[in-house]
């Protein structure tokens, strides 16, 4: 027997229990988004293969060939691709979860469910894209006959970090998008700008030592450095103080994102 009591502030208390109750909806929504994404099979998969490969080619040409930045003995395309994976995961999640609430406005205004399900399921979809690029990456390593470091077993830990960063920012953007309808114009800019200030096309080693701590204020620096550290080992040493800062900031963004989202969530149906 379902017994529900509705009172002001009550949904706060039952939040996590409700989230568990609605877990099936969460899987169904993720499943829907994945299906839709790969529905036009050829285009869907081709797109998630082509995009990272093309970006990799361009970045390798600009930063590796033209600017001749050091790669620490690693084939430059691999260096770029190792960073591209977490970056695209992050940027996809950010733009998709930003739209997730407004895009499902009719669901929000017509039925109850913990709203956090929506941005969360879009991050899952980006995870599928990530898996595809992981396969690509394995192919690339074969091509270059590159043997990854044993530390690659740590990759899931850094993936978790990437997940927290993506979801944290995603929550912020999703909630702000509902409140400020012109916020969505800022998101593409944020993503584009983020690409330049993140060490995707180059190794963070090229950043002068005294700037590195400041550079690590960008949480994605920690994530990307971590990924490279896993794959290339000694050739891409982590700058630990900066890494710690990135991790701390990621945690902060995630926590505040969750708090802000939950605080505004109750009013979504009223304003959307």
Partner 1 sequence: MSDAIIKVQNLGKRYRIRHQQSGMNYVALRDVLAQKLKTAVNPFPRKSRPPSPAREDFWALQDVNFEVRPGEKVGLIGRNGAGKSTVLKLLSRITEPTRGRIEINGRVASLLEVGTGFHPELTGRENIFLNGAILGMGRQEIKRNFDEIVAFSEVEKFLDTPVKRYSSGMYVRLAFAVAAHLEPEILLVDEVLAVGDAQFQKKCLGKMDEVSKKQGRTIIFVSHNMATIVSFCQRGLLLKDGRIEADGDISQVVSHYLQESTRQDGQFRKEASNGQTKLEIEKIGLYKGGKISTLFSPEDTLAVRIDYQVRRRISGAQVAIEVFNELSECIFSSTDQDWSGEKPEVLPGRQAVECPIDLGFFKPGKYSIKVSSSVPNLEILDLVEDQLAFEVYDDHSPVLKLGQARKGIILPKIRWNKVS
Contact residues for partner 1, defined by CB under 8 A: 1-11, 24-25, 28-29, 31-32, 35-36, 39, 104, 106-112, 176, 178-183, 186, 266-267, 269-272
Beta carbon nearer to partner 1, 17 or 179: 179
Min CB(37)–partner 1 separation in Å: 9
Beta carbon nearer to partner 1, 10 or 65: 10
Min CB(180)–partner 1 separation in Å: 4
Torsion sign, CA atoms 259, 264, 269, 272: negative
Beta carbon nearer to partner 1, 209 or 270: 270
Backbone phi and psi for residue 261, each to the nearest 5 degrees, phi listed first = -60, -45
Min CB(88)–partner 1 separation in Å: 23
Query: Alpha carbon of 6 to those of 3, 34, 111: distances in Å?
Result: 10, 34, 15
Distance CA 149, CA 146 (A): 9
Triad 196, 197, 201: Cα angle to 5°? 55
Min CB(132)–partner 1 separation in Å: 19
Beta carbon nearer to partner 1, 206 or 271: 271
Here the tokens at position 60 are 């390798």
Backbone phi and psi for residue 66, each to the nearest 5 degrees, phi listed first = -75, -55
Query: Alpha carbon of 260 to those of 24, 104, 240, 263: distances in Å?
Result: 25, 20, 30, 5
Beta carbon nearer to partner 1, 68 or 110: 110
Min CB(194)–partner 1 separation in Å: 19
């Amino acid at each position: 027997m379902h017994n529900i009591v509705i009172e002001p502030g009550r949904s706060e208390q039952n939040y996590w229990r409700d989230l568990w109750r609605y877990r099936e909806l969460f899987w169904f929504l993720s499943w829907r988004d994945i299906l839709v994404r790969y529905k036009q099979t050829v285009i869907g998969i081709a797109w998630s293969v082509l995009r990272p490969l093309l970006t990799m080619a361009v970045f390798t040409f600009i930063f590796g060939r033209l600017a001749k930045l050091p790669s620490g003995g690693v084939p430059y395309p691999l260096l770029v691709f190792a960073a591209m994976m977490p970056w695209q995961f992050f940027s996809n999640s950010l733009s998709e979860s930003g739209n997730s609430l407004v895009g499902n406005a009719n669901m929000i205004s017509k039925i109850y469910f913990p709203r956090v399900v929506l941005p969360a399921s879009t991050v899952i979809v980006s995870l599928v894209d990530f898996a595809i690029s992981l396969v690509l990456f394995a192919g690339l390593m074969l091509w270059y006959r590159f043997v990854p470091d044993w530390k690659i077993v740590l990759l899931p830990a850094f993936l978790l970090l990437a997940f927290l960063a993506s979801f944290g920012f995603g929550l912020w953007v999703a909630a702000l998008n509902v409140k400020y309808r012109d916020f969505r114009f800022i998101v593409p800019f944020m993503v584009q700008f983020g690409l330049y200030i993140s060490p995707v096309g180059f190794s963070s080693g090229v950043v002068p030592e005294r700037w590195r701590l400041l550079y690590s204020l960008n949480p994605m620096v920690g994530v990307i450095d971590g990924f490279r550290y896993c794959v290339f080992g000694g050739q891409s040493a982590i700058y630990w103080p900066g890494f710690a800062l990135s991790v701390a900031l990621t945690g902060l963004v995630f926590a505040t994102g969750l708090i802000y989202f939950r605080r505004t969530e109750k009013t979504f149906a009223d304003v959307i």
